[in-house]
Chain A
Amino acid sequence: MKNRIKDLRKSKKMTQEELAIKVGVSRQSIIAIESGKYNPSLELAYNISKAFDSIIEDVFILEERGEE
């Protein structure tokens, strides 16, 4: 699953640490999600999207073949 967290974060001038504090996880989690190494739970994905005033579909992009 791809995501636009890095772009959205930069457009909002937000650091990884600030986003991490906002959604209540560690910076390590934001790094892992941003780089696509970890797919967050639905609850965390919702909270991240909410931090950017967006909906989940605008932040996370499910590839056609799904998760591999």
Chain B
Amino acid sequence: MSEQILGMIGLYGGAAFGILGWWFGRRMAKKQRGLDELHDHIWQKARSISWYFTLGSTYVLFSLILFGIEIKAGMLLGIIMLVHMASWGIIGVILSINMNMTEPLKPSRVKFGISIVAVSLIIFAILSITTGNWWFLIASIPPSTLGLISALTPDKSVTD
């Protein structure tokens, strides 16, 4: 019962805070004319790319079930939702930073960085599921941080 209450708090509280954050963010951006066509372009592109990550995670989860690992529906949906939302947000931030930088990001470095984040998340998520120890997910933070730093380092060799 207490698990159910915590779940409800997480589900509806998370959604409420998320919507509030989104609404305030849009309000702040509107004041600086931030809700323009570039904003739409960035976030539509981020959402479309995030579907590839969602597809990849669905495939990995299907494989885990195929190999006999039992995963609860709630956990499964939670992972898919997390992958979708996190990849949407991270890609949106990367695209926004790239558009705002005078020095361009190196595409190969961005791909390498995002791959490190995706691979470490998948590996540690599998470890967490198979061992039942969710602390393994925390171990994915250092490689993911390194991946993000690598992706967001501009290409200084390019000059105008």
Interface bracket on A? 10 to 19
- Interface residue A56 (Cβ < 8 Å from any Cβ of B): no
How many residues of chain B have a CB within 8 Å of chain A?
A: 15
Q: Are A41 and B33 in contact (CB under 8 A)?
A: no
Q: Are A20 and B33 in contact (CB under 8 A)?
A: yes
Tell me the chain B residues, 25-47 only, with Cβ under 8 Å from chain A: 29, 32-34, 36-39, 41
With A and B bound together, what is the CA distance between A29 and B99 in angstroms?
Answer: 8
CB of A46, distance to nearest CB on chain B (Å) = 13
Mask of A17-49 contacts with B, CB within 8 angstroms, 1/0: 000110011111101100101101100100000
Q: Are B33 and A21 in contact (CB under 8 A)?
A: yes
Q: Could you pull out 18 A-B pairs where Cβ atoms are within 8 angstroms?
A: A25-B33, A25-B37, A25-B38, A26-B29, A26-B32, A26-B33, A26-B34, A26-B39, A28-B96, A28-B100, A29-B36, A29-B37, A32-B38, A35-B104, A37-B98, A37-B104, A38-B41, A41-B37
Residues of A near any B CB (own CB < 8 A): 20-21, 24-29, 31-32, 35, 37-38, 40-41, 44
